[in-house]
């Protein structure tokens, strides 16, 4: 009996079977029955003919067949499809050897769980020898031999080059350790990151920094793509957390201890005491050992490490762990502890078997990621339905380079899609790719204490920092309280403030300006001696702020004698490190912030000008017109006329008081509305519409007259003061001299306002200000003084009788304390300033130095007694105008409704618009027929003893009603001669009485007669 065994070997040797030692092989086919020989296979595989005696030995050891998986021998069905996968790792490192064991275990476990799958993944391992060129060479060799996928390499630099090759050959490259954001699946679609992006840990780091209120973090990272890749996302995350990166330390990968010591000494002299280490564990171990030697893991320091070190904290050597006491580590949280415990036991046994004689320190998350990556790849291969893998080779002759001879995988695109769609619960957590990489789930924060680690808390994207991950994931509880932390130096749990002024045992040097005036702000006595006394408003504010700081700050004041020349020079001394702080009346300006940092302002400011004032005693004969502006006068007159017209329109048809000749009615319109200013009108109103209109109008007139009287009284009795100059443009036009304070930035502002420097004069004290303003521009003085408002207030507190502040105010940010750029004191001092200004102590300091500022009466209300304008009464005009219009509309609507038939007849009987309007106006001018005299004693018709029942009104020519005795027969109505006659005196009395009451009565024949208004001479 002859048995053929298929041997898979990458070496291609057919005769020397000794080279096959340690290689995986599989039994392809065993013919039966045993006594019948079988033919030798004719395919291209390498086969070895095994003697019959060896066959008997195999049958005697048949129990070994049940354990072929652990021996690397897998019984295969003839229909299995083998898919070759390359693996590139740096086998000189223990981490790579552990990853190789983890990859092999993943493939064995996968096919043991899925024995019926039709595909089998076989690994082809290559050593990158910790060299990028060697890694790329290994990748080229693997692609030349047509592997369908590649796992690895370990570093981001090697992965970057290999990703371009695999992208060209359409071969998926799966990396479980390349975390640098510089390699993106968005640009290299065949690159698959089976781990987290480094930028993902920037968020938990920033949240941790914000939780403790640290304002600055100094990153310490290796000089590589991996080291610098996290910086952009870290900067953004810290800025969102109200923190910044004032400095950074870049450590070369191949660096000597002397260079590290020199860099640590530089970091020691920075004010920031919060450091973030982002580098490979080997370099980080050297860094921490030297940092501990320099005393940089003592009280006040904060050290944090990213997941590159945080993932391996448990397996670091004891010497490194001892030098990292109090360090905070960030690493992805691994939830499947039961799975990991089972895997750990199997992993240690398998690793000892694969590499006998080596120390087993346990696995890290990289081995878990490698296991999940191999599992995902094997699953994707099966999902791709691979039956005949291979490459499509380039057409044509021999290519110039080996890269040009690379083919394109026929199943690469299918396999890539299958990997992207693969999801399962892996050892390191949920394996699910989004945009070609794993997504952020949760981070664990640990604290190095003794020989082990203490859990500090967790961070999730939805809940932020929390001490218990279970509550955050289930209920969304956002518990910001973390577990206790042991900081470097064993500071009994006291949280380091994150910064320290590196004074080397000396006090802060605080520069104060030596001023020649305005001593209320800063005054230095005996500036030459060592016992200088510094007082003033600014000094008291800073001393009060110091007491509100949560820590002690030692300092001493140093007078700066050249400050009168320029405050810019004083500020620049801080930039030159000649002083640590500037305390004084230093204004916050944009150009100064390019060199120093300012605190929040502790006083408001702005630039204005002060000028002399003069008394205005001239009172013109037309002063009674000044209380109201011309626009208000004209508007009031217009409304007076409109209101009178509205009342006349409403009352004309129903009220005899509003009838008569045209001139009488025009006069009545003006008389009625204007009479409301001084007395009540005698005309009695009949319509409720006009009554309501007049009520609103009288209310408006009352307010207008009251305001007018008050304004005129003020003009006649209050002394009027006017400034000599009211506008900056007037100064420019006249070419007057102007003044400013010594050393002030105001001179630069005046230049921007186009003032000539030859027209500027500088002064130091308030007395000099007053003297210069008294002389005037023509006599060696100035016409105006430009300065900041706090100084002008001090000046006016002493010389307010003859000066005032006028013109626009040019906004500035106020006075602030000056610190070097990046100083951590700025935030704390600014916070203390806010607390001080919100309390009463700030008011006490101001009263101590400026208690006489309020004793000067203000001239602002006297300088410009402005007239009342239309805007002041616009609301009243709108109300009375709307009421008038509304009443008119109601009246017109009622008129049209009552006379609709007559108006329709007028429109029908007349052709032109002019005729229609004329007839309508005639109709409107007539009294309403329904009007009757009021039945009282005053309007009864009593004419010289003639009783009412003895009088008859008869129509005559021209529609004139004539009174006659009832005993006289009614005459013909056609002519004047036919009408009965009465005496002249009686007729005149009747007409006069009729004119008064405008009576309408009933004739003897039942016809309605109207008595017109007739004068006596008619």
pLDDT tens digits, one per residue of 869-883 = 888 888 888 998 898
pTM over 0.85: no
Residues sharing a CB contact under 8 Å with residue 134, sequence separation 6 or more, in sequence order: 127, 128
pLDDT tens digits, one per residue of 152-201 = 898 888 999 999 999 999 999 999 999 989 898 989 999 999 999 999 99
| Residue 696 main-chain phi, psi, to 5 deg | -65, -40
Core vs surface per residue 139-157: b (16+ CB within 10 A) or e: bbebbeebbbbbbbbbbbb
The yes-or-no verdict on residue 626 having pLDDT over 90 is no
Q: What does the pLDDT read at residue 400?
A: 62
Q: What does the pLDDT read at residue 660?
A: 74
Q: What does the pLDDT read at residue 7?
A: 37
The answer to whether the CB of 412 falls within 8 A of the CB of 318 is no
pLDDT tens digits, one per residue of 609-625 = 999 987 665 566 777 78
The answer to whether the CB of 457 falls within 8 A of the CB of 213 is no
First to last CA, the chain: 163
DSSP code per residue over 243-283: -B----EEE-SS--HHHHHHHHHHHHTSSB-EEEEES-HHH
- Residue written as tokens 């950074």? 248
| Residue 482 main-chain phi, psi, to 5 deg | -95, 165
Say whether 947 sits in a helix, a strand or coil.
Answer: coil
Q: How far is CA 836 from CA 539, 667, 828, in A?
A: 14, 71, 12
Q: How confident is the model at residue 503 (pLDDT cuts 50, 70, 90)?
A: low
Q: How far apart are CA 28 and CA 17, in angstroms?
A: 18
Q: How far is CA 690 from CA 470, 704, 885, 929, in A?
A: 80, 21, 11, 20
- Residue 793 burial by Cβ neighbours in a 10 Å radius (0-12, 13-18, 19+): middle
Q: How many Cα atoms sit within 13 Å of 283 on the Cβ side?
A: 21
Q: How confident is the model at residue 856 (pLDDT cuts 50, 70, 90)?
A: low
Which stretch of DSSP H or E encloses residue 496? none
Which domains, from first to last, does the chain contain? 3-67 (no CATH), 81-196+337-439 (3.40.50.2300), 200-334+443-475 (3.40.50.2300), 508-600 (3.40.190.10), 623-713+871-898 (no CATH), 721-862 (no CATH), 932-1010 (no CATH)
DSSP 463: T
pLDDT tens digits, one per residue of 669-724 = 777 767 766 665 666 777 888 888 888 888 888 888 888 888 888 777 765 667 88
The yes-or-no verdict on residue 446 having pLDDT over 90 is yes
The yes-or-no verdict on residue 972 having pLDDT over 90 is no
Best CA proximity match to 310, nearest among 441, 447, 202: 447
Q: What does the pLDDT read at residue 855?
A: 55
Higher pLDDT among residues 366 and 644, named by residue? 366
Say whether 954 sits in a helix, a strand or coil.
Answer: strand
Q: What does the pLDDT read at residue 287?
A: 96
The yes-or-no verdict on residue 779 having pLDDT over 80 is yes
The answer to whether the CB of 330 falls within 8 A of the CB of 307 is yes
Segment among 36-45, 349-358, 379-388 with least mean pLDDT: 36-45
Label each residue of 354-392 as H, E or C: HCCCCCCCCCCHHHHHHHHHHHHHHHHHHHCCCCCCCEE
Best CA proximity match to 822, nearest among 598, 627, 607: 598
Q: Provide the token pair at 681.
A: 């009108």
Q: How far apart are CA 933 and CA 950, in angstroms?
A: 19
DSSP code per residue over 771-809: HHHHH-GGGTS-SEEEEEHHHHHHHHHHS-SSEEEEEEE
Angle at alpha carbon of residue 274, lines to 272 and 275, rounded to 5°: 110
The neighbouring-strand residues paired with 610 are 785, 805
For the residues 515-538, what does the mean pLDDT come to? 83
Bin 114: left if φ > 0, else alpha if -120 < ψ < 50, else beta. Answer: beta
Best CA proximity match to 420, nearest among 368, 370, 377: 377
Instruction: For the sheet with 119-127, list strands across it.
Output: 119-127, 81-89, 149-151, 173-175, 191-193, 437-438, 429-434, 423-426
Q: How far apart are CA 496 and CA 274, in angstroms?
A: 9
For the residues 967-980, what does the mean pLDDT come to? 39
The neighbouring-strand residues paired with 408 are 392
User: For strand 1000-1002 and strand 606-616, is the pairing parallel, antiparallel, or unpaired?
Assistant: unpaired
Q: Provide the token pair at 392.
A: 């499509």
Q: Is the peptide bond before 394 cis (omega within 30 degrees of 0)?
A: no
- Residue 449 burial by Cβ neighbours in a 10 Å radius (0-12, 13-18, 19+): middle
> How large a percentage of the chain has pLDDT more than 70?
77
The answer to whether the CB of 474 falls within 8 A of the CB of 361 is no
Higher pLDDT among residues 631 and 50, named by residue? 631
Q: How far apart are CA 327 and CA 441, in angstroms?
A: 23
Q: How far apart are CA 409 and CA 181, in angstroms?
A: 27
């Amino acid at each position: 009996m002859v048995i053929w065994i298929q041997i898979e070997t990458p070496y291609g040797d057919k005769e020397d079977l000794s080279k096959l030692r340690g290689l995986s092989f599989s039994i392809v086919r065993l013919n039966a029955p045993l006594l019948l020989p079988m033919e030798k296979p004719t395919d291209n595989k390498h086969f070895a003919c095994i003697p019959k005696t060896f066959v008997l030995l195999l049958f005697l050891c048949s129990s070994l067949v049940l354990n072929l998986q652990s021996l690397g021998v897998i019984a295969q069905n003839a229909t299995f499809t083998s898919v070759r996968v390359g693996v590139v790792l740096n086998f000189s490192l223990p981490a790579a050897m552990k990853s190789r064991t983890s990859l092999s275990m993943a493939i064995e476990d996968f096919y043991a769980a899925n024995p019926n799958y039709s595909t089998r993944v076989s690994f082809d391992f290559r050593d990158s020898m910790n060299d990028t060129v060697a890694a790329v060479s290994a990748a080229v060799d693997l692609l030349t031999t047509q592997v369908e996928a590649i796992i690895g390499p370990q570093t981001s630099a090697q992965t970057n080059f290999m990703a371009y090759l695999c992208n060209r050959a359409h071969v998926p490259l799966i990396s479980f350790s390349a975390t640098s954001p510089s390699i993106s699946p968005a640009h290299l679609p065949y690159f698959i990151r089976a781990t987290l992006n480094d930028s993902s840990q920037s968020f938990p780091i920033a949240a941790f920094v914000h939780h403790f209120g640290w304002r600055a973090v100094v990153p310490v990272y290796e000089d590589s793509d991996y080291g610098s890749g996290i910086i952009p996302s870290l900067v953004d995350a810290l800025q969102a957390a109200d923190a910044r990166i004032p400095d950074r330390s870049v450590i070369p990968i191949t660096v000597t201890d002397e260079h590290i010591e020199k860099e640590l000494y530089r970091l020691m002299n920075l004010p920031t005491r919060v450091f973030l280490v982002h580098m490979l564990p080997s370099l980080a171990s050297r860094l921490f050992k030297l940092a501990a030697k320099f005393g940089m893991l003592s009280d006040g320091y904060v050290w944090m490490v990213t997941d590159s070190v945080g993932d391996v904290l448990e397996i670091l050597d004891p010497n490194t762990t001892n030098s990292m006491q109090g360090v905070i580590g960030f690493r992805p949280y691994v939830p499947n502890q039961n799975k990991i415990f089972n895997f750990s036991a199997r992993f240690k046994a398998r690793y000892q078997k694969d590499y006998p004689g080596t120390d087993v320190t346990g696995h890290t998350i990289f081995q878990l990621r490698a296991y999940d990556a191999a599992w995902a790849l094997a699953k994707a291969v099966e999902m791709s339905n691979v039956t005949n893998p291979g490459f499509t080779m380039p057409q044509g002759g021999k290519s110039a380079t080996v890269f040009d001879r690379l083919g394109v995988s026929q199943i690469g695109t299918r396999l890539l899609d299958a990997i992207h769609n693969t999801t399962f619960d892996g050892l390191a957590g949920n394996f699910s790719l989004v945009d070609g990489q794993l997504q952020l789930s949760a981070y664990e924060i640990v604290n190095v204490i003794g020989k082990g680690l203490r859990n500090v808390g967790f961070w999730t994207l939805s809940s932020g920092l929390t001490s218990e991950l279970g509550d955050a994931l289930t209920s969304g509880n956002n518990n910001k309280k973390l577990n206790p932390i042991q900081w470097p130096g064993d500071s009994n749990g006291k949280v380091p403030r994150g910064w320290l002024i590196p004074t080397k045992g000396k006090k802060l040097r605080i520069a104060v300006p030596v001023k020649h005036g305005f001593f209320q702000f800063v005054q230095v006595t005996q500036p030459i001696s060592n016992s200088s006394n510094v007082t003033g408003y600014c000094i008291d504010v800073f001393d009060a702020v110091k007491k509100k700081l949560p820590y002690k700050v030692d300092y001493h004041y140093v007078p700066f004698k050249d400050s009168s020349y320029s405050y810019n020079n004083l500020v620049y001394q801080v930039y030159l490190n000649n002083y640590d702080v500037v305390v004084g009346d230093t204004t916050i300006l944009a150009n100064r912030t390019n060199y120093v940092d300012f605190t929040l302002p502790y006083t408001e400011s702005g630039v204005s000008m002060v000028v002399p004032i003069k008394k205005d005693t001239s009172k013109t004969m037309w002063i009674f017109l000044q209380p109201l502006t011309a626009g208000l006068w004209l508007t009031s007159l217009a409304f007076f006329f409109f209101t009178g017209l509205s009342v006349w329109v409403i009352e004309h048809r129903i009220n005899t008081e509003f009838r008569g000749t045209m001139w009488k009615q025009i006069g009545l319109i003006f008389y009625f509305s204007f009479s409301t200013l001084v007395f009540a009108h005698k005309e009695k109103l009949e319509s409720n519409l006009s009554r309501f209109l007049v009520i609103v109008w009288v209310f408006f007139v009352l307010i207008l007259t009251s305001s007018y009287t008050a304004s005129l009284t003020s003009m006649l009795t209050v002394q009027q003061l006017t400034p000599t100059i009211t506008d900056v443009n007037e100064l420019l036009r006249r070419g007057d001299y102007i003044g400013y304070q010594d050393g002030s930035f105001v001179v630069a502002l005046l230049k921007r306002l186009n003032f000539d420097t030859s027209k500027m004069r500088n002064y130091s004290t308030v007395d000099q200000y007053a003297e210069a303003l008294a002389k005037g521009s023509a006599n060696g003085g100035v016409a105006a003084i430009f300065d900041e408002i706090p100084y002008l207030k001090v000046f006016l507190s002493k010389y307010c009788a003859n000066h005032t502040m006028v013109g626009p105010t040019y906004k500035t940010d106020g006075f602030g304390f000056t610190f070097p750029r990046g100083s951590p004191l700025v935030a704390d001092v600014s916070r203390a300033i806010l607390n001080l200004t919100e309390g009463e102590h700030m008011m006490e300091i101001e009263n101590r130095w400026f208690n006489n500022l309020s004793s000067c009466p203000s001239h602002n209300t006297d300088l410009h007694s402005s007239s009342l304008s239309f805007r002041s009464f616009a609301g009243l005009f709108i109300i009375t105008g709307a009421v008038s219009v509304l009443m008119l509309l109601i009246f017109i609507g009622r008129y049209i409704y009552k006379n609709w038939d007559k108006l329709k007849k007028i429109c029908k009987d007349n052709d032109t618009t002019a005729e229609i309007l004329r007839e309508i106006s005639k109709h409107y001018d007539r009294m309403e027929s329904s009007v009757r005299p009021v039945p009282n004693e005053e309007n009864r018709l009593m004419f010289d003893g003639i009783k009412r029942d003895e009088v008859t009104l008869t129509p005559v020519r021209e529609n004139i009603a004539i009174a006659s005795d009832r005993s006289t027969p009614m005459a013909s109505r056609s002519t004047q001669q036919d009408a009965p006659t009465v005496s002249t005196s009686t007729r005149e009395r009747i007409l006069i009485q009729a004119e008064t009451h405008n009576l309408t009565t009933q004739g003897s024949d039942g016809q309605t007669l109207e008595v017109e208004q007739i004068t006596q001479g008619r």
